[in-house]
Structure 1
């Protein structure tokens, strides 16, 4: 698991992987009360804390202009420069008749600790009681959703069946150019000069080849090259349905994958298993695109769409999550590929806007999440939010 935004910004972790993070969250794992429907693990807690952190940041930005409102779940001791973040989690035992909350306390220069409300109240190293009184403690965010017009849902727009030949073209672009294009555009977004980016020989060669392939580009026109790169990225990443079918294949249950792709077994290593699955779906697309090929890719899509349509009568009871990347609220659509009575994974739905930027009430699939990710994203809104979909677990 890569370093999260919480770990970068709040804890000040700079490395892509730092064992201190696991050590730190192990302390939280030892102190937190158990959840009724999911066993906490180090990675599950990391995902939950990060999702809570990003939601709090988003809400706090909206209330930052209102001086009479306390900042949600964040606090600071001015004397010691210690930062506080309330996780929305508690220990099994109460303190002074109240829930014993769990906090991250510290700063990058002095280090951090996982502290309970009891430990903060009883310490003599800083004014713990005073700091906690400054914090608007929230362990549930369902009130944020009440009356939110952005969540109006009329129907789910089913995806259109992708032709195998069209899917092949996009996959070839994905396998060839997307990583490098995304890397270059991310550096540009960080205001890095284009000439600095081109100092890397590999990048320079990539841009030279890119310009040759797109003969209408003026090789001396920097803005034209950048605009064309952005159009390519939009074209490659723009097909969210193919993204669900190809990149989201790791979320499908093993029994279904083995049956559909006619395999005997799957390897236990998750990295190798994901690699194999992507190869199988790409072979499925390639074989289906041949003149006398089978229709397996069409059937694969029909199964997914039929499973989506099964939930059409229940669209007004779907749970909501906060999409960290786009800072929007999205619905979760459970997908029942097996006859187990519990969803195997969920598809994330995005609200469609009209040409004037107004929400239409129509929602479309954009990505998928495994059930661990689903649990974290729903749990952020509180235990009651999980309770409403308790039959999922």
Structure 2
């Protein structure tokens, strides 16, 4: 191994002697820098030449201290020039070593760009949300906008403003999930998990003057035991249409068109009387069985019909809560409807239990990919 450069002690400080000493130093600096092959070598090189205790740079300052007085200026200039060149050589060596390391890393980690990339498998929309979106799309095509509201509602919006009297069975804790710690509040201010998306109808009418045409998709909660056809959490799509001269015929025509769009033009619809506190008159709507074409099968219990939703004309008492915003029951009328998304998804995909939609079984969900 070649002997490392050591700073000589000068006795002659003439220009010629200084030129020779500086030339030897810079040659040694260049040779040592050229032999560096890694970060550890560079660190040792840096410390040997620039260490504040015993580095070459500190040692050549002795030249200036020992130089005769009349030559100190010339020697000082040369020392400063050497110092600048040493610092530049150390910086250049660092850049070269880093570049070599990066090149080596790129070679070892080289990517074959001709190979196909790693594709992350994409998920698909949940079947319930897919059906919900299909329903919403049908009504959007008819000019309806989408309404949204909170899942944690007050008793006022969930019941009172929808014409539910205080003794209505839906207020019973067996049906409704109430938020704890509400006993000190007035009944209309108590919070609960909304049991239907109908509160969005009132909230919309409070903000928007008629005419109104909205469709309201969303999650709802009820204190129901999980079985083949019931779940404590499920989805609804409701609709509201309010304008002048809206009649029951408009309601029937709208829903008939919507379900023909969903299930095909051969589907028939029929309505029969029912009761809901917020509509008067009220009706349940059935569609002809999409499995047997109305002939009768196990799915439709051999009746040829399947019940899908409730609907009716908005009760004038509901309009009274928003009368100040242009909903005078003497001047406007409207209809409302609501359907369970899971129920339609069960029919559409032939699923026998609602719980299968929520178990997260990939084998089941993959069928809808």
Normalising to structure 2: TM-score of the pair? 0.22
Higher helix share: 1
Normalising to structure 1: TM-score of the pair? 0.21
